[in-house]
Amino acid sequence: MCRLLGYLGKTIELDKLLYKPEHSLVVQSYQPREMREAILNADGFGVGWYHQQKETLPYIYKNILPIWSDINLPQISRYVESGCVLSYVRSATPGLSVDLSNCQPFSSDRLLFIHNGFIHKFRTTLYRPIRSSLNDYTYQLIQGTTDSEHIFALIINELQTSAIDNLETALANALSKLTQLAKSSKVYFLANVIISNGKQLVASRYSNRPPSPTLYYLQNDLTYPEGLIIASEPLFDGNWKSCPEKSIISVGEDLEVHISPVS
């Protein structure tokens, strides 16, 4: 299990998301409040962001150290500014190695992806079925061994093979495919994800065996005007709204929130 954070809106410095809130992602790494499957997120972290004036690929900084131990991130986060940011702190699923190839965010072209959850006994259950469902292009994109990266691959595969041009549908179809595979193998999974192309955030709060992990969103807070945050846990006291279970939450440049059920 991990802690997730996505931001879209007015350009801000990274440290205003990662460090300054009273229950920031750094604090959540060693003192999470709503994480049921672990007590720490000490197995690495990552942050990805987009340059708002240039149509470049996203930038990524990651480390296998706990986020509180990285001496470079405080300096980087005071310098880097962005209007679209994804970040996470990791609690590695037992049996999945702690190395950079397994560290999120995962990326493909302009897409960034982070995941909180797991597939139960992934290596002996859905590892091969997921891979067998992928086209050659998507199969070759997988660099690590995590269930998270394989869920990302399912989304990319939908974009590649189903003539789908929007992230909401691709994510919904990928979750449906994962649910079918899990039913056949009689396995359960948790799939809270956030995916972005730099201009929107699309997230899910989903599992095939409730309850799903927590996920919240916050719009136009006084501290973050013209911005929206999606997070595993509230970063500070405010008008945070809980995302419904089995739902997809999408936010575009107008910062309007759209929620749709996942059947």
Name the residues annotated as catalytic: 2
Angle between helices 147-161 and 167-185 (to 10 degrees): 120
Per-position DSSP letters for the chain, written without gaps between them = -EEEEEEEEEEEETHHHHTSSTT-HHHHHHS-SS-SS-S---S-EEEEE--TTS-PPPEEEEESS-GGG-SSHHHHHHH-EEEEEEEEEE-PPTTS--SGGGPSPEEETTEEEEEEEEETTGGGTTHHHHHHTS-HHHHHH--S--HHHHHHHHHHHHHHHS----HHHHHHHHHHHHHHHHHHHT--EEEEEEEE-SS-EEEEE-BSSSPPPP-EEEEEETTEEEEEEEESS-SSSS--EEPPSSEEEEE-TT--EEEEE--
C-alpha torsion angle, residues 235, 172, 257, 53 (rounded to 10): 80
CA distances from 148 to 14, 69, 77, 155, 235 (A): 24, 24, 25, 11, 24
